[in-house]
Structure formats: structure tokens, C-alpha cells
Amino acid sequence: MAVHKSAELAGALWRDIKKIRSQRVRVHIHSHPLATVWVAQCLAALGCCPIYTVGEEERRDLLENSDSIVIDLGSSAQIGKEALMQVRDYAISSGKPLVLDPSGIRLSSLRMQVAQELLQEGGQQVLRANAAELMLLNGYIFTDNHESQFVKSSEAMGAAYDLAEKYGHTVVVSGNVDIIVGPEMDQRYVYNGCSLMRNVIGMGSACSSIIAAFAAVNPNLEEAALHAMACVGLVSERIGTRVRGLGTFQLGFLDALSNLNRTGLEKDLKVESPPSYR
């Protein structure tokens, strides 16, 4: 199937980026300590104001002053399940966009339990995960952890559709191809990207937080997720052939993200809208 290069998509993506930068969108992140600095740097490069705390006393104030919220389950042990439930409930009651990232659930029964409890109908939510994590959330049992490391995005399509249908949320599958499934069961594929992304600690968390940034300015969460993943994939692809390794990739990614402009978006975006999976 041909990949379409859409002037309309490029224009819509650029409008969202300009809104993020002009509004200085505030994204409240709950992430693993190993990922938090990288996530904050990516958000700042995009033009956002990242907000982070582990303090219960100030959490409510910071949530109220945020535009969107991210729950990365890497923070579950540090912050605690009950606090994350309260964050989820606040997002639903306030109507603020919430992005759930079930990182590490294949290795931690606690994170799996928390993810299953966090997922519920209601609110403006996006679920972003890799293929193995989505399959696990949908009840698939891997024979070993090594098997789960090599699952392709296309193998998780059934899980993505099941979860989108069950909870009514937008679901994003990150991987060799990024797939966005909306609550109406339509889908988009993003082919932009770079293989070095998988080796960056916190890259998945950064993707989730960038989705939250776009969701803060675009109430269509399916479109916001598409724009976010296209933005990340495009930036990483543009620099991937010019860097010497992981260190220069990270620096180059931040520079390219902060300098991203309208030039070349239409030409470089590689997105398709195939027929429904079902």
C-alpha cells in the first residue's frame, strides 16, 4: 500500500507545533527517575514547560496548573499506586488529557496490576505502549521475556483494537512502525523513525509526554497522537544518518526538535491510512 505525503497533514502538524510553542504548554509528568531528565529535555526542546514532583503536598497544585498529564508506570514504586490512582481520577474529573504509559509491565507484576487498575472508561485518555506491552494488557502470555523483546507492531494490532474498543481510548503502538488506533476503530501508520530510538533510555516515555503536549492543544486525541508520533519519527529519521552513535543522536534529536519548522514536512512525512483492521 502506498504511503501518502499529505499537505493537509503537514499543515495540521505544524499548526499544533506552533500552538505548543506559543502557549508554552505545561505537561505534568510522572516517570521513572532514569527517564525523567531526558523526557523533560525533549519537552523543553519542543517548546513545553515540563512539570514534575514526587511530593504529595504539592502534587494537586501542580496538576491544577498543568495542561495535560502523563502517567508512566516507571514511577509506580516511587510515587505509589494510590497516588497514581488519584492523578488518574483528577485527569478524568478535570477533563485534562491523560496519557498512560505501561512501561515495564512485562517485568513487574506490580506495574501490570497498576496498569490494569488505571485503565478504565472515561476521560480524555491515550494509551501508548510497545507491541509486547499491549499484548500483555490484552491477556497474551509470552513463553519468556526474550520472546517479548522482538514483537513487531503489526503483531499487536488485535490487542490495540481490543483495548481501544473496550475502553474507548486512542491506542498507540510504538515500534518498527508506529500505529495509532482511534476509538472509532480507524488506524494510521507512521513509517518515519530511526533504529537508534530503541536504545535511548526513556524514549518511550518521551513519546508519551510529547503525545500529551499535542493533546493539550488538539482535542482530537487520535489526531494529536498521530501528530506527536509523526513529529518524533520525522525528527529522529532526519538526524539518524548524520550521527556517530547514541550520544550524538540524543543531542541531535534535541537540536532538531527545537529547530523544527514547516520546511520539508510535507515531503518527509510518511503516513498512511489503511482500511480498518476489522
Beta bridge partners of 188: 180
Residue 135 lies in a domain: yes
Joined together, the cell numbers standing for residue 46 give: 519542543
CATH of the domain at 234: 3.40.1190.20
**Cα-based torsion angle of the residue sequence 62, 111, 130, 206 in order, rounded to the nearest 10 degrees:** 30
Residue 277 lies in a domain: no
Distances in Å between the Cα of 174 and the Cα atoms of 103, 111, 138, 156, 254 are 12, 19, 16, 10, 20
Joined together, the cell numbers standing for residue 213 give: 503536549
Residue 148 lies in a domain: yes
Amino acid letter at 249? F
Whole-number Å distance between alpha carbons of 9 and 118: 32
What pLDDT score was predicted for residue 157?
Answer: 93
- State in Å, rounded, how far the first CA of the chain is from the last one: 17
Residue 180 lies in a domain: yes
What pLDDT score was predicted for residue 5?
Answer: 56
How many domains are contained in the chain? 1
What pLDDT score was predicted for residue 1?
Answer: 43
| Spatial contact of 130 and 107, defined as CB atoms under 8 Å apart | no
What pLDDT score was predicted for residue 3?
Answer: 55
Length, in residues, of the chain: 278
Residue 90 lies in a domain: yes
Q: Which of 155, 152, 118 is nearest to 140 (CA)?
A: 155
Which range of residues forms the domain containing residue 257?
Answer: 7-272
Q: Does an H or E element contain 127, and which?
A: strand 125-130
pTM: 0.94
| Spatial contact of 191 and 4, defined as CB atoms under 8 Å apart | no
Residue 207 lies in a domain: yes
Per-position pLDDT tens, the chain of length 278: 445 557 889 999 999 999 999 999 999 998 888 899 999 999 999 999 999 887 788 989 999 999 999 999 987 767 788 889 999 999 999 999 999 999 989 888 889 999 999 988 777 899 999 999 999 999 998 887 667 778 899 999 999 999 999 999 999 999 999 999 998 888 999 999 999 999 999 999 999 999 999 999 999 999 999 999 999 999 999 998 888 889 999 999 999 999 999 988 888 999 998 776 55
Whole-number Å distance between alpha carbons of 156 and 67: 30
Residue 68 lies in a domain: yes
